[in-house]
């Protein structure tokens, strides 16, 4: 119970930390990293809570979900990085405009 | 098993666009013929599936023969079938429109086809999936394809709009995934039907409900979480704007509705009024912002924010009478046709005039009569004038509001319609009059005008086929849970 709960809480902590970073930092690379930290938090919750079968083994379905989630996260990060480079290339800086001009 | 063979057609609905996407990526020279053939085939499969489920019982299909607790099930009922038909029709129209729109930028068409067919794959898979983790995957596939398409226009506005859209989408998906993790921990299943049996009101259910709702509301752009939508939708290429506004936002709304109806039936007490208030605020704020815009595509994008508001005004109404859900679905369907038609017509005007400033629309009515008719007809449906599909949807909502003396919601629905009339007529008015600044004009291919007009006409025809459409909604009785609770 205690280790399960500890991992889940750490996961929630990472999620909140990532959310804070996503909101606070302007630079797109930091925002993308923050999203990745949030994702790791969710995966840690899944991994921590997987350890709950009566015979003490971990639940393989949670692990399958984590692996699928990681694949999705890699694809999303790749797209985000390419898009960030394009934004930098076109506008000269890797930040989102504070106020849209319309 | 007669019932499970019906969903072979459902599997085809996922495999066809997926293989189409790969083929158009590999054989770029013939991408357009392949894409249009795939769009036609998807329409045929959709018709076949709709026919089968309305004459037989509602099927579940275990993919690969694995059963529900472990494997992935496909499922279709009236709610998902309606949205499948919506994507098939709008998708076919956009597939016919895009090649002409991108004719002077062939490199964009090369990227457009695979991305659009991947997006279509994700949409169909989302509407057919019956387990919440698979839904997460389809939701992510959908947003990645949608973001890439939004960035396709290549301008600085489009790129920053797409970047913001991507960050918001990922945030929404992660909130949703955390909710899935909590639900799986508590109930040891991700299958919607099994969850519906097992779920009980508890702190962990409420936490999961809150996270999933927050994520999906962000993706559906409910006021005040709509900030990302207007820049992303307005700065994309016209066919992309059409499919983002017509289809992509509906997908997350569908998921929200599905979870609300099936899984969280007993923990959502009191939330319906909050959603209704935000929806009402979206209707008023979105419409007022639409009135203030100087550019046509931004006006249409803010109109989407307003129209999405109606889909949430439904929640408090449906809490007293489940008939309101049919109104919501009707509005979602007619909005998809009308908004796609509006964006395509706006794309024609943009191409024709070289700009989309509303006050400089110089006598468009004489030069592009079909496109302006399409815009006006779509406007009729958005305003909710009879006999359009939008009218039927609003009528169903007003009927519930008036029957239960919920005057506040009724006023919002009517005022939203009046504001919509104001912004539609503002555009139509400028299209009739000569502008101060005239511009060099560019010819618009006839197919682009006709596609917009056909879509707009179908949003009107939707109002004339109300009986059949409402019968389709009821297949499999997707709104049953709340109808059981409705007081007399």
Residue-wise DSSP of B187-202: HS--BHHHHHHH----
Q: Which helix or strand (DSSP H or E) is residue B291 part of? A: helix B271-292
Prediction pTM value: 0.93
Residue B3 CB coordination number (10 Å): 14
Q: Do A45 and B182 touch (CB under 8 A)?
A: yes
Name the residue with higher pLDDT: B363 or B115: B115
* Complete domains list, chain A, with CATH: 2-91 (1.10.287.3510)
- Put simply, whether B184 touches A (Cβ < 8 Å) is yes
pLDDT tens digit sequence for B366-421: 888 999 999 999 999 999 998 899 999 999 999 999 999 999 999 999 999 999 99
DSSP lists the bridge partners of residue B122 as: none
Average confidence (pLDDT) over B63-67? 69
Q: What is the ipTM metric for this complex? A: 0.94
Give Cα separations from B172 to B52, B166, B175, B187, B396 (angstroms). Answer: 35, 10, 5, 23, 31
CA–CA distance, B130 with B60 (Å, rounded to integer): 9
Inspect the interface and report whether the beta carbons of A102 and B178 lie closer than 8 Å: no
Give the distance from residue A2's alpha carbon to the nearest chain B alpha carbon, in angstroms: 15
Q: Give the percent of chain B with pLDDT over 90.
A: 69
The number of angstroms, rounded, from the C-alpha of B370 to the middle of its chain's C-alpha atoms is 24
Of B335, B333, B204, B213, nearest to B272 by C-alpha is B213
The pLDDT assigned to B484 comes to 42
pLDDT band at B2 (very low <50, low <70, confident <90, very high): very low
**Residue range B47-67: average pLDDT?**
77
Interface test with A, best of B166, B210, B235, B294 (most A CBs within 10 A): B166
Q: Which of A28, A61, A102 is nearest residue B295 as measured by Cβ atoms?
A: A102
Q: What is the pLDDT of residue B468?
A: 87
Residue B346, token pair as written in the block: 């706006």
Q: What is the pLDDT of residue A75?
A: 94
pLDDT, tens only, B171-200: 999 999 999 999 998 888 888 888 888 888
Separation CA B22–CA B325 (nearest Å): 37
In angstroms, the Cα distances linking B287 to A61, B245, B256, B299, B418 are 46, 15, 24, 9, 9
What pLDDT score was predicted for residue B151? 95
Contact between A61 and B159 using a beta-carbon 8 Å cutoff:
no
Residues A28 and B474: their CA atoms lie apart, in Å, by 46
**Residue ranges in B200-270 assigned as alpha helix (H):** 203-220, 229-235, 238-243, 249-262
Please judge whether A86 and B159 are an interchain contact, meaning their C-beta atoms are less than 8 angstroms apart.
yes
Please state which of the ranges A92-101, B317-326, B383-392 shows the lowest mean pLDDT.
A92-101
Label residue A3 by pLDDT band (50, 70, 90): confident
A79 to B148: CB separation less than 8 angstroms, yes or no: yes
């Amino acid at each position: 119970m205690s280790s399960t709960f500890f991992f889940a809480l750490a996961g929630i902590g990472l999620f909140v930390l990532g959310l804070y970073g996503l909101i606070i930092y302007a630079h797109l690379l930091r925002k993308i990293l923050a999203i990745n930290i949030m994702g790791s938090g969710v995966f840690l919750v899944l991994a921590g809570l997987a350890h709950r079968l009566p015979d003490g083994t971990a639940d393989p379905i949670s692990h399958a979900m984590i692996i699928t989630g990681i694949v999705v996260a890699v694809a999303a990060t790749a797209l985000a990085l390419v898009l960030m480079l394009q934004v930098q290339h076109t506008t000269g800086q890797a930040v989102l405009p504070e106020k849209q001009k319309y | 098993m007669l019932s499970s063979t019906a969903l072979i057609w459902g599997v085809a609905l996922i495999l066809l666009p997926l293989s189409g996407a790969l083929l158009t990526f590999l054989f770029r020279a013939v991408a357009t013929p392949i894409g249009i053939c795939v769009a036609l085939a998807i329409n045929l499969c959709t018709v076949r599936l709709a026919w089968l489920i309305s004459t037989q019982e509602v099927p579940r299909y275990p993919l690969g023969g694995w059963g529900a607790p472990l494997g992935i099930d496909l499922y279709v009922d009236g709610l998902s079938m309606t949205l499948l038909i919506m994507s098939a029709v709008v998708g076919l129209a956009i597939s016919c429109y895009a090649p002409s729109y991108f004719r002077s930028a062939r490199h964009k068409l090369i990227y457009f086809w695979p991305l659009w067919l991947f997006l279509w794959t994700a949409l169909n898979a989302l509407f057919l999936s019956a387990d919440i983790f698979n839904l997460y995957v389809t939701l992510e596939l959908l947003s990645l394809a949608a973001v890439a398409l939004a960035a396709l226009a290549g301008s600085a506005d489009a790129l920053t709009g797409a970047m913001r859209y991507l960050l918001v989408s990922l945030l929404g998906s992660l909130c949703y995934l955390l909710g899935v993790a909590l639900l799986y921990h508590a109930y040891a299943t991700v299958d919607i039907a099994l969850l519906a049996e097992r779920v009980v009101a508890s702190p962990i259910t409420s936490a999961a409900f809150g996270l999933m709702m927050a994520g999906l509301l962000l993706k559906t752009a409910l006021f005040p979480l709509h900030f990302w939508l207007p820049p992303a939708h307005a700065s994309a290429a016209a066919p992309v704007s059409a499919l983002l506004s017509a289809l992509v936002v509906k997908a997350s709304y569908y998921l929200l509705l599905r979870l609300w109806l099936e899984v969280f039936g007993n923990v959502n007490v009191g939330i319906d009024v909050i959603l209704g208030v935000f929806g009402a605020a979206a209707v008023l704020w979105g419409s007022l912002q639409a009135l203030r815009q100087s550019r046509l595509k931004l006006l249409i994008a803010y109109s989407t924010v307003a129209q999405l508001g109606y889909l949430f005004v439904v929640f408090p109404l449906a809490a007293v009478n489940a008939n309101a859900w049919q109104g919501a679905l009707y509005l979602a369907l007619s909005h998809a046709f009308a908004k796609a038609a509006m964006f395509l017509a706006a794309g024609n005007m943009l191409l024709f005039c070289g700009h989309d400033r509303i006050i400089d629309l110089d006598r468009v009515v004489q030069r592009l009569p079909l496109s302006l008719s399409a815009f006006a007809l779509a406007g009729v449906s958005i305003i909710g004038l009879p006999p359009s599909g939008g009218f039927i949807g609003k009528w169903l909502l007003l009927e519930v509001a008036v029957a239960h003396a919920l005057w506040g919601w009724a006023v919002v629905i009517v005022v939203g319609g009046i504001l919509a009339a104001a912004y539609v007529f503002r555009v139509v008015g400028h299209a009739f009059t000569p502008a101060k600044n005239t511009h060099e004009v560019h010819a618009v291919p006839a197919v682009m005008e006709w596609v917009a007009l056909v879509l707009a006409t179908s949003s009107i025809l939707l109002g004339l086929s109300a009986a059949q459409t409402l019968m389709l909604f009821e297949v499999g009785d997707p709104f049953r849970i709340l109808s059981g609770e409705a007081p007399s």
